[in-house]
Chain A
Amino acid sequence: MSILVYTESENGKFKKNAFEVASYAKAVADQMGTSATAISFNASENESLGAYGVSKVLNITNDTLNTFNAEAYAKAIAQAAEKEGTKIVVVSSSANSKFLAPILAAKLKAGYVPNVVAAPDSTEPLKVKRTAFSNKGFAHTEISTDIKIIGVSNNAFGLKENQADAAVEDFSPELGDGDFSVKSVNIDKVAGKVTIADAEVVVSGGRGLKGAENWGMIEELADVLGAATACSKPVSDMGWRPHGEHVGQTGKPVAANLYVAVGISGAIQHLAGVSASKTKVVINNDPEAPFFKAADYGIVGDAFEVVPKLVEKLKEFKAQNA
């Protein structure tokens, strides 16, 4: 009956969202008078989930699962759910979780609600608050199936420490060749760079930067803030930046603690995708730019003057506060 939470890891290390979904699962477990059980794949330091209230971890050790495979992972989670008699499964909003959750939903005949931003409104019936219309609104959604899947939005619930002793058990799902019919042949990923999905801070550039050659100062700003870099849609359409950096309604969603927009006008499609960020800073030379209406802090000025100064100031600040 416990709440089952899929805790993601990469090269054995838990991702930050693993601790966030674990925190969420513990909150649901408390509301329902039960406990939180995690399922992990080839993870080390499974005990660390205890800090967020997980009291049991089903850890899978299996070399064929070193690379994420949506079908095989979903099947393993479904088997764990069955074994535990789970009624609620919690996943994150990462690309991988959003890939496997619908597969899992079909396997468990479970209603699935993604983009959930808060602990359930109620548990009987189970009702959750989620974003809709690309962050322009919220829906309160009831799930009526026997088994239910909740997808938690990035950075919405946060990490909640809640010390428990996590008992780690080995779990061996039954998988066959048929579960690997989508085969990974190559992964192209820059090592050591913060991704937009994981970043606490995102620095984003728009058409106001005039050309690909001017991104040096954006990278520097991102560097001193430990931020991921992003861009507006036309910037990726023109090939100034890779498509993977395009954020907004038709690109990646951003839910960072701090979003810094440089030379971006703030079109409704852009705002929709980034408005879930907590603090927004806008640097734009046009005081009428619509983004100022959606921002917390702004500087009206030429990016080519403001950004280098900001980089210098932040370096100074870091040196003082180190």
Chain B
Amino acid sequence: MKILVCISNVPDTTSKINFTDNDTKFDTNGVQFVINPNDEFGLTRAMWFKEKQGATVHIATVGEATVEPTMRKALAIGADEGIRINVAPTDGYFVAEQLAAVVKNGEYDLVIAGRESIDYNGGMVPGILATMLGMNFVNTCISLEIEGDTATAIREIDGGKETVETSLPLVIGGQKGLVEESDLKIPNMRGIMMARKKALNVVEPVDATKATQDVSFDKPAPKGQVKLVDSVDELVDLLHNEAKVI
């Protein structure tokens, strides 16, 4: 089985968000970048398929050279090889088309992407990619088993979960649950040393559609002071008469 894990390079979850150039760009100053958390669960599940079922695991990231440290980290966790598509990931449709070209060339059986990237929260890359290539697709995937060509997946739905059966080739949008939090791998020294020697191939982008563009950004209005109350009577009164939510 040949697996491609799509890794998005995103600001650390603790990052404070600021914008520059007249609020037209995200300010990366002082921001630490990490593997998108949803992708990290998928990558760890891919490692399980590698160890238990002999799968080959490649990673792909659409991004300029600045994303390479994040890709090296994914290689240190255990992926075999990396592919970087050398262009800024400006729009979900565009990113999906870039990845579709890689998936087609590499003849992957399984593509593991994240439910969404925590930066722009588009959540569209796996679904668009799957549809372009005519592959099966399961979103918000919290469990995945593969037996031969058959896949059994569980996806999170509003208020519960659904088990689905499908076949390879398959694309999933993964998230927490694919593996337990405690199974997430932190790269060790040996992994980091080995990752330095692994192939990280750079390919040029294909012509693709830019469907959307972020023209400006703003931040939520600052929150007013919290009203601290001493009794539940006062709280219920405020919720009823002031906030009007009960």
Contacts and interface: CB of A to CB of B under 8 A. Distances in A.
Contact of A313 (B164, B223, B232): B232
A98 B11 contact: no
Interface of B is mostly: mixed
A114 interface: yes
Nearest to A305: B232
Contacts, number: 258
A59 interface: no
Interface residues of A, number: 89
Contact of B213 (A136, A142, A197): A142
Contacts of A100: 127
A127 B214 CA distance: 9
Interface residues of B, number: 82
Contact of B139 (A99, A114, A137): A99
A309 B226 CA distance: 21
Interface stretch (B54-62, B102-110, B154-162, B194-202): B154-162
Nearest to B224: A296
B235 A127 contact: no
A95 B157 contact: yes
A138 B218 contact: yes
B61 to A, nearest CB: 19
B239 interface: yes
B124 A101 contact: yes
B166 interface: yes
A249 B38 CA distance: 10
B131 interface: yes
Given A111-B211, A250-B118, A182 B138 contact: yes
Contacts of A243: 142, 156, 176-177
Contacts of B238: 297
B245 A278 contact: yes
Contacts of A317: 236, 240, 246
B37 interface: yes
Count chain A CB atoms within 10 A of each CB in B126, B137, B181, B210 and give the residue with the most.
B137
Contacts of B126: 102
B64 interface: no
A99 B140 contact: yes
Contact of B229 (A102, A137, A297): A297
A296 B226 contact: yes
A110 interface: yes
A127 B114 CA distance: 26
Interface stretch (A47-55, A210-218, A287-295): A287-295
Contacts of A136: 16-17, 219-220
B211 A143 contact: yes
Contact of A299 (B164, B232, B240): B232
A294 to B, nearest CB: 6
B165 A185 contact: yes
A114 B121 contact: yes
A106 B127 contact: yes
A105 B162 contact: no
B209 A183 contact: no
A137 B220 contact: yes
Interface string B202-220: 0000000111111111111
Interface string A42-75: 0000000000000000000000000000110010
B224 to A, nearest CB: 8
Contacts of B93: 105, 111-112, 145
A193 interface: yes
Contacts of B239: 258, 279, 281, 297
13 contacts: A70-B139, A100-B127, A102-B126, A111-B211, A133-B120, A182-B166, A187-B161, A195-B158, A258-B243, A268-B13, A269-B13, A281-B235, A313-B233
Interface of B: 11, 13-14, 16-17, 19, 26, 37-38, 91-93, 96, 118-128, 130-132, 136-140, 142, 152, 155-167, 175-177, 180-182, 209-220, 223-224, 226-230, 232-233, 235-236, 238-240, 243, 245-246
Given A275-B220, A298-B229, A300-B228, 13 more contacts: A96-B157, A99-B155, A133-B118, A133-B121, A135-B220, A138-B217, A138-B218, A182-B166, A184-B162, A250-B38, A296-B243, A299-B230, A313-B236
Nearest 8 CB-CB pairings of A with B: A102-B127, A111-B211, A189-B160, A195-B159, A106-B131, A102-B124, A197-B158, A136-B17
